[in-house]
Amino acid sequence: MTTRSIFLTIAAFGATLPALAGGITYTCDASISTSLCNMLNGPQDSGVYSGIFSNATANIFIQFGNAGVASSSFNVTPVSYASYLTALTLHTDDPTALNSLPTGGDPLIPYGNTNGNIDVTAALASALGLAGSDAGIETDQMTSCTLGVDPNCYNGVITMAQSGVDFYYPLSPSDPTQSGVDFFYIVEHETDEILGSISCIGTNGSNTGPAEACNSAVGATDASPADLFRYAAPGTRSFLSTANGTGAYFSIDGGQHNIASYINSPALGDYGDWAAGGPGKVQNGEAASGNNLDLTNDGGSEISVLNAVGFNLVPEPGTMGLLAISLAVIAVLSVRHRRQN
């Protein structure tokens, strides 16, 4: 009886642990050298994500081409707010962010999200077990495709500027800052968007600024998961009706704490990017502000966003050590019990 109880305890405890699988894989166009592609799939970018998130998985195609500094293309799938909240409740390891979301319905409806939909990327849908986990984009025509079925189909495509941008390629974030733009930082910026850091605030009315991928049509009103954590003030969210140049910031506790300020003007860039000013961050709207930065050393705001929307953190080494010690003690007690019998 005791041995069976110990087994059930171990099984129940193990079931609470996040899965330690997944990762970001970059597939490179012929315009990307083999050595650079290997660096992308090493510690500079892929290794950064696998060291932070336990359930972030994506296959991303990267190329040089026509882009301002860089751009990302990907598909999103609309799900109901209730479906997203249910999935997040089952999977998240961020109770503070989860508790800031109401159970009574989409909190962005009063702010212009009349569809009541939440648009999730394929990578996030996969992490949360939602519809749309196979919604890929085809590399040549940039059209929709089915991941795992159609050829040349990826979670997202990153296009780095072929000309007009002076990229440099540090071996690590500790390398001395050089002139130009850190290539790997820009790749992380675009990767975050493919995973789900985007805002779905698009152009509307007389605004002429750029629209995010999930709201390419004028007047579109779907929200992204990150938009659920966008605030103008404590208790007051910011979405279409307030994206007019007034302040907006990311918060996981109902707006009580400003983790990072968003761009909130249609003339300044993507609404999902951080506003300029202060220390550089990976998602800053100005590319040159992120040199020699990555998700591990820029203050953690991007990690907080991706964690809030559904990507779980890899347990700290100390946590895993305590788990190993606990299991060892249980095993010893089990052996002693069998000897006594």
* Amino acid, single-letter form, for residue 333: L
Spans of all domains in the chain:
1-17+315-341, 20-314
CB neighbours (10 Å) of residue 66? Answer: 10
pLDDT of residue 215: 53
Q: 3-state class of 250 per DSSP?
A: strand
Q: Which residues, 6 or more positions from 142, have their beta carbon under 8 angstroms from its beta carbon?
A: 73, 157
pLDDT of residue 168: 87
How does strand 70-74 pair with strand 156-161?
antiparallel
pLDDT of residue 290: 57
Q: What is the mean pLDDT of each run of 10 residues along the chain (341 residues)?
A: 27 34 86 94 91 96 92 93 97 98 94 89 97 94 93 96 89 72 91 94 45 50 93 94 86 97 82 83 71 84 97 76 43 46 54
pLDDT of residue 195: 97
Q: Are 302 and 283 contacting, i.e. CB atoms less than 8 angstroms apart?
A: yes
pLDDT of residue 41: 95
pLDDT of residue 178: 72
Q: Which residues, 6 or more positions from 331, have their beta carbon under 8 angstroms from its beta carbon?
A: none
Number of helices followed by number of strands (H, E) in the chain: 9, 15
Alpha helices in the chain (DSSP H): 2-15, 34-40, 46-52, 81-91, 95-99, 122-128, 183-195, 301-309, 317-340
Alpha helices in 44-103 (DSSP H): 46-52, 81-91, 95-99
CA atoms of 163 and 127, how far apart (whole Å): 36
Alpha carbon distances (Å) from 39 to 249, 293, 313: 33, 16, 23
